[in-house]
Amino acid sequence: MSKYGAVSNQPKKATKTRHSWLLWAIAGVLILAVLGAAMWFVQSQERKVAFTPEVTGQPKASLDQVAFDYGDVQLGRTIETVFRVKNTGDRDLSIVGEPKVEVVEGC
């Protein structure tokens, strides 16, 4: 009812539709957040169970391969090598600085 006693005939449906859409959006975001948190928790538990340290009380670096033999390599040719470093201890492993690489020239 207005100040002069007339009743407004304007619909309120648009406001309800906007609020309904907003509620559905919030519910969707919450559901995705809960599913994401559950997946993260399950994966973190699997990682904890799957690891058995070789040493306790300290970190230990284990390499998948410590020597590489490329045979005869032409002078000036670049060779790229990939190796994997894995921490098999139960403490954090920190690699500080450049790793030492020794190139041995054969006869």
Using one digit for the tens of pLDDT, what is the confidence trace for 9-54? 555 555 566 677 888 889 999 999 999 999 998 887 766 666 778 8
Predicted TM-score (pTM) of the model is 0.42
Using one digit for the tens of pLDDT, what is the confidence trace for 96-106? 888 777 777 76
**Cβ proximity of 90 and 51 under 8 Å:** no
Q: What ranges make up the beta strands (E) of the chain?
A: 61-63, 85-87
**Cβ proximity of 79 and 70 under 8 Å:** yes
Q: Which two tokens stand for residue 28?
A: 């969707």
Using one digit for the tens of pLDDT, what is the confidence trace for 45-83? 766 666 778 888 999 999 888 888 888 888 888 888 888
